[in-house]
Amino acid sequence: MDAPIKKFMRTVSGGAKNSAETAGKQYGRSTKAAQRLQESNKSPGYRMKGITMENQQGGMWLDTERIEALKRAKPFVELMMYNRCAIREIETKLRVLDEEFSVRADRNPIQTIKSRIKKPVSIIEKLQSRGYEVTVENMREKLTDIAGVRVICSFVEDIYKLAELLTSQDDIRIVEIKDYIKNPKPNGYRSLHLILEVPIFLSQEKRHMVVEVQFRTIAMDFWASLEHQLKYKKKIENPERIATELKKCADVISEVDMRMQDIRYMIDEVEQKH
């Protein structure tokens, strides 16, 4: 492990070497704030667990000061920058393919691309829920979805075409493929998920970064967005009924996707004859 990460870990993981002074100095916070952080670690009834606090009842919450410290820590800032660069690389590759397609086939297979970097809180929660210590090293090694690119396509066929063209590029390495279109999730969720490794070229080095790329049709995205919103509604009276309805809608949507693709084939045939 390199020295800056070690230093960062000592401060973030709340170990014995995490003195108020170092914490204050390293992240440019006031010594007062750092002292408060020390005090909160010592307060009776609370136990630091990495970056979260646990009270006597077992309730957990995230320590906001520590999250703020994490956000400013150099190794973390760098990791996020590498991830943003990796997103740019993947987005450019996809836009190039879309552009070429629009000239050769006179239509765009990609409707939109939505990219996101996972929020620090979500990164921490995911590491902890999987039993890993909150370190930059673990973020790099254990998480494959810090950089996420969602590609919304017009037709199912476009998804496979784009995925094939992207993954056959010689600087891309496939880490994992999950085809939830051929094998939908039991709730009806459909998308093609690729975990890819892509190089980014920095001033002094070349780094290989992992990006999660999700391909969906507009219809699949419409379903997934609504299903996602409903999942977070706390008071749902009839969860089984809603799950059944959602599954039915997912199947109808899939049927519509197939029929729209057939319509496109019919139009293409007519065009080729002329």
Q: What are the residues binding ligand GTP (CB under 6 A)?
A: 145, 178, 185, 187, 189, 193, 224, 227-228
Q: Which of 4, 34, 143 is nearest to 83 (CA)?
A: 143
Nearer to Mg ion, 145 or 157 (CB): 145
32 binds, among ligand GTP, Mg ion, none (CB under 5 to 8 A by kind): none
224 binds, among Mg ion, ligand GTP, none (CB under 5 to 8 A by kind): ligand GTP
Alpha helices in 146-238 (DSSP H): 156-167, 218-231
Contacts of residue 123, defined as CB under 8 A and 6 or more positions apart, other chains included, come to: 139, 143, 146
Nearer to ligand GTP, 5 or 146 (CB): 146
Question: Which of 89-97, 137-145, 181-189, 203-211 is the region at the interface with Mg ion (rule: CB under 5 A)?
Answer: 137-145
Residue 212: CB minimum distance to ligand GTP, A: 7
Task: Find the helix or strand (DSSP H, E) in which 148 lies.
Answer: strand 147-153
DSSP state of 105: T
Nearer to ligand GTP, 79 or 224 (CB): 224
Nearer to Mg ion, 49 or 178 (CB): 178
Residue 144: CB minimum distance to Mg ion, A: 6
Are residues 50 and 128 in contact, defined by beta-carbon separation less than 8 angstroms? yes
Q: Which of 43, 72, 73, 47 is nearest to 61 (CA)?
A: 47
Nearer to ligand GTP, 14 or 120 (CB): 120
Single out the residue of 91, 145, 179, 197 in contact with Mg ion (rule: CB under 5 A). Answer: 145
Residue 184: CB minimum distance to Mg ion, A: 17
Strand partners, 149: 115, 213
Nearer to Mg ion, 158 or 221 (CB): 221
Residue 197: CB minimum distance to ligand GTP, A: 16
Residue 130: CB minimum distance to Mg ion, A: 11
- Asked whether position 137 contacts Mg ion by CB under 5 A, the answer is no
Contacts of residue 5, defined as CB under 8 A and 6 or more positions apart, other chains included, come to: 75, 135, 136, 137
Are residues 212 and 193 in contact, defined by beta-carbon separation less than 8 angstroms? yes
Only one residue has tokens 């999250």, namely 67
What are the residues binding Mg ion (CB under 5 A)? Answer: 145
